[in-house]
Amino acid sequence: MELGRLLGPLCLVLRRRRWSTVSLAAAGSALTVVCALAERLLHDPSWLTDATAERASLPMTVALARLPGSLFAPALDLPLWGAVAQLALAAAVVQAVCGAARAIGVGLGAHVTATLVARVILALGPLVPLGMPAATRFVLDTGPSAASLGLAAYVCTRLRCGVVLAMLAAVPVVELCIRPTTLAAHEHGAAAAIGALVALLSGRRGPDQHRCDLV
DSSP assigned state of 135: G
Mean pLDDT of the chain: 85
150-204: per-residue pLDDT in tens? 999 999 999 999 999 999 889 888 888 888 778 888 899 999 999 999 999 886 4
CATH number at 2-209: 1.20.1540
Q: CA–CA separation, 23 vs 167, rounded Å? A: 27
Q: Which of 95-109, 114-128, 142-156 has the lowest mean pLDDT?
A: 114-128
pLDDT band at 207 (very low <50, low <70, confident <90, very high): very low
131-160: per-residue pLDDT in tens? 788 788 888 887 888 999 999 999 999 999
Q: What dihedral do alpha carbons 158, 87, 109, 73 form, nearest 10°?
A: 170
pLDDT band at 80 (very low <50, low <70, confident <90, very high): confident
Q: Are 144 and 72 in contact (CB under 8 A)?
A: yes
pTM, rounded to two decimals: 0.87
Q: How confident is the model at residue 56, as a pLDDT?
A: 86
Give percent of the chain with pLDDT exceeding 90: 33
Within 10 angstroms of residue 177's Cβ, the number of other Cβ atoms is 10
